[in-house]
Amino acid sequence: MARKNAFYAQSGGVTAVINASAAGVIEAARENKDVIGKVYAGRNGIIGALTEELIDTSKESKSAIDALKYTPGGAFGSCRYKLKDLKTSQREYERLIEVFKAHNIGYFFYNGGGDSADTCLKVSQLSEKMGYPIQAIHVPKTVDNDLPFTDVSPGFGSVAKYTAVSCREAALDVASMCATSTKVFVMEVMGRHAGWIAAAAGLAKEENDDAPHLILFPEIAFDKAAFMKKVQATVEKVGYCVIVVSEGARYEDGTFLADAGTTDAFGHKQLGGVAPVIAQMVKAELGYKYHWAVSDYLQRAARHIGSATDMEQAYAVGRAAVEFAVAGKNAVMPTIERKKTKKYSWTIGEAPLKKVANVEKPMPRKFISKDGFGITPSAREYLAPLIGGESYPPYKNGLPQFAKLKLAPVAKKLNDVFDV
Amino acid sequence: MARKNAFYAQSGGVTAVINASAAGVIEAARENKDVIGKVYAGRNGIIGALTEELIDTSKESKSAIDALKYTPGGAFGSCRYKLKDLKTSQREYERLIEVFKAHNIGYFFYNGGGDSADTCLKVSQLSEKMGYPIQAIHVPKTVDNDLPFTDVSPGFGSVAKYTAVSCREAALDVASMCATSTKVFVMEVMGRHAGWIAAAAGLAKEENDDAPHLILFPEIAFDKAAFMKKVQATVEKVGYCVIVVSEGARYEDGTFLADAGTTDAFGHKQLGGVAPVIAQMVKAELGYKYHWAVSDYLQRAARHIGSATDMEQAYAVGRAAVEFAVAGKNAVMPTIERKKTKKYSWTIGEAPLKKVANVEKPMPRKFISKDGFGITPSAREYLAPLIGGESYPPYKNGLPQFAKLKLAPVAKKLNDVFDV
């Protein structure tokens, strides 16, 4: 096999451990120098391939690449940019081929979620449809945990851990003060249309009266009467009530709770955030003093409380992608396979991109309790091992020390400018 | 000295390490059994003394008390309840004496902020003014860091660490995506009228272009034009802009930015949170895509990333309070004294409650940069050691294991019911 260079790009919303996948790709490629030349990373994801802004990862030291394992965010830059089908986006695919050809790129590693899997699939077809030989491997990543075929999406375990830990901690704060102060605390979490992250908060609960007392899932239409009844019953019994709400929570008709009609002084639609909407609703209906939190990016960047399991899996899928490429594979994605052992264990599996692309894995209804406000034992069994182990970054002067890369640009070989 | 029991109560907003002070009080009291009998904790703070709801801490195991050192929130319950002067609140002080007398209480340890120091001072005067012999020692605590005479208020270092760590992490997330997505990220922090917590976020910045790029302090009147100019310049130069805003940020005329006029569908005043107000303002003025976070209680409960220095100091002031009592002192507060060593070191000092009560320590103007949007080297020098060291709680199944107390009630000796 003639030695070719590889292209690696990060795509879509970043996670606390996407850089661990980058480290996996780069380290495995370095161990396979007979097959893979250099790994060029796209600056700001696939956009870097289109604009020929490539980063030469061979200029990075071993320790810098190692530091990626505990550095949140996307070290090479990510983007939200979706290539359409080969026909509609023909000029862009042609451009990719020009850039790949100019830099002798034969391997395409794309680190992203469902949309990116689709792009990766299309790149994998360039060989057949446009005559450019390339192997495209998708490296799974998303905090939303909605990728199919893999037991879990790397990135999810860490946000899940942050959410469960934060919920348990904040609940102790609320419990302390509820006699004379805040009685209802609303904590908003990410997850888009899937309730995986919200469900993970449920792990904070050990005993019946523990927080979270209610979880609002996007999968369950919001029933205001049932909700208020349970909030009131909880405050009356426990003294306070902790509510976790998914950003995607919605009414029966599909309207997001976050869009519930608040306007600011300028007449703009409300400032965003479903937590304040819920909190205000409880106050109006039941009169309880409330507080709310929207941790937003803090949750998916919270590498300081990363899940060791998640970090190891993110790293492993990066390595596996390279091993798949070296083995001559194309249009596949490494997956996490849960083994049927009593103690949690996992191995790397493989899924064809044709089946992965654009398919969302919904949270099973059996993971949500009958009343719609909690998680079931089977959800707990699925979720618990994913937050296992604490992967702490190194600290200096009280602050985490994250990777500092050189991000050395690869000299451009094409003369034209490509607008994206 | 006849052996007397002690009363301990937590007061006001709780912190990630107030329970470490409780552990300090209880452990030191156990070591001084010849002087101090049992330590009774007030259920929900001083209210527990008034209603005679006392918790017998002698029923707690050594390991349970040890676990308090890494358990956030107020393990015995706290409250916002201020006793007025001896004349106005005479019935309440008489009631305290009744309860203290009934339970042979001769030591009063009050763990709180400025308001609580005032209550503690008044209790210390019961001996002289109402003929009941008692020694009252205040144990300092507040995330707001506004207690005078002490170099730092225990509780502050941990929220400061959480804030700086979270800001650094979230900034990496924003940096990854700014080419095609969010350009402005607004992170709201606590601190009431003082900018200490906001200032601590400034520790995340190491190089000139690092986040946070702007900090909005309560101490500096908001200048919209200067703010917008700097936000725009930052986005143009760095590609994105991270703004930390104190909940107490305000306009020249004293109006809080958080009160800036948004109303919801019901015509209520806006749902709270200055971060969304700032974010929306930037969008309206400069058109940048934004995200915002309000971590609220998550920040002051974040024991998972507690400052080791803060934890040690919180524990030490608890122990010192007991040692002061044993030494026969009254109406004092142990303080943290920074030593004049090159490497940060500290010792326990002592301040008279008369001077502490109701005095707020403002952040010095010299800690804020000339343009009003950042911190100075002297602020950095003051703040940096306070977040030093990582104090991690123990974990089981991926979750922190916090103290589980028995909270055994002390049998009531008074027959009446006291309404608070």
pLDDT digits (tens, 9 = 90+) for A132-148: 999 999 999 999 999 99
A105-112 and A4-10 strand pairing: parallel
Q: Tell which of A21, A46, A51, A176 to mutate to test the B interface (max B CBs under 10 Å).
A: A176
Residue A124 has pLDDT above 50, yes or no: yes
The fold of the A4-142+305-359+389-400 domain, in CATH, is Rossmann fold (3.40.50)
Q: Which residues are CB-neighbours of B287 under 8 A, at least 6 positions away?
A: none
The one catalytic residue in B56, B118, B144, B151 is B144
- Please report where in the chains the tokens 């569908």 appear, as a residue: B265
Looking at every residue in chain A, the average pLDDT score rounds to 95
Position A260 scores a pLDDT of: 60
Compare B250 and A271 and report the one with higher pLDDT. B250
A366/chain B closest Cα distance in angstroms:
22
- B146's tokens: 């506004």
Position A268 scores a pLDDT of: 45
Q: Is B66 a catalytic residue?
A: no
Residue B265 has pLDDT above 50, yes or no: no
Residue B296 has pLDDT above 60, yes or no: yes
- Give the mean model confidence (pLDDT) for residues B230-250: 97
Region of poorest pLDDT, from A146-160, A259-273, B288-302: A259-273
Helix crossing, B18-30 with B308-326: angle to 10°?
A: 40
CA distances from B200 to A131, B167, B187, B212, B246 (A): 56, 10, 13, 10, 11
Q: How far apart are CA A257 and CA A198, in angstroms?
A: 15
Residue A263 has pLDDT above 80, yes or no: no
Position A417 scores a pLDDT of: 83
Residue B51 has pLDDT above 70, yes or no: yes
How large is the C-alpha radius of gyration of chain B? 23
CB atoms inside a 10 Å sphere around CB B310: 29
pLDDT digits (tens, 9 = 90+) for A285-318: 999 999 999 999 999 999 999 999 999 999 999 9
Per-residue burial over A293-331, b if 16 or more Cβ lie within 10 Å, else e, is bbbbbbbbbbbbbbbbbbbbbbbbbbbbbbbbbbeebbb
Q: Mark yes or no for CB contact A277/B271 under 8 Å.
A: yes
pLDDT digits (tens, 9 = 90+) for A159-177: 999 999 999 999 999 999 9
User: How large a percentage of chain A has pLDDT more than 90?
Assistant: 89
User: How large a percentage of chain B has pLDDT more than 70?
Assistant: 97
Residue A27 has pLDDT above 90, yes or no: yes
Residues of A recognised as catalytic: 144
Position B270 scores a pLDDT of: 44
- Give the mean model confidence (pLDDT) for residues B159-177: 98
A397/chain B closest Cα distance in angstroms:
6
Position B82 scores a pLDDT of: 86
What is the pLDDT confidence band of residue B418, given thresholds at 50, 70 and 90?
confident
Q: Mark yes or no for CB contact B185/A14 under 8 Å.
A: no
Please give the CATH architecture assigned to the domain spanning A156-300.
Answer: 3-Layer(aba) Sandwich (3.40)
**Chain B residues touching residue A176 (CB < 8 angstroms):** 10, 14, 73-75, 77-78
Position A358 scores a pLDDT of: 81
What is the pLDDT confidence band of residue A85, given thresholds at 50, 70 and 90?
confident
- Give the mean model confidence (pLDDT) for residues A321-335: 98
Residue A207 has pLDDT above 80, yes or no: yes
The ipTM is 0.96
Domain ranges of chain A: 4-142+305-359+389-400, 156-300
Position B266 scores a pLDDT of: 44
The fold of the B4-141+305-358+390-400 domain, in CATH, is Rossmann fold (3.40.50)
Q: Which amino acid is at A228?
A: M
Residue A269 has pLDDT above 80, yes or no: no
Position B107 scores a pLDDT of: 98
Q: Mark yes or no for CB contact B297/A277 under 8 Å.
A: no
**A151 among the known binding-site residues?**
no
Q: Where are the beta strands (DSSP E) in A262-367?
A: 290-294, 306-307, 332-338, 346-352
Position B271 scores a pLDDT of: 47
- Picking from A169, A174, A398, the nearest residue to B302 by CB comes out as A169
Is B156-300 in the same CATH topology as B4-141+305-358+390-400? yes
- Give the mean model confidence (pLDDT) for residues B70-96: 93
Looking at every residue in chain B, the average pLDDT score rounds to 95
A364/chain B closest Cα distance in angstroms:
23
Q: Mark yes or no for CB contact B298/A301 under 8 Å.
A: no
Please report, in range form, the residues annotated as the binding site of B for diphosphate: 13
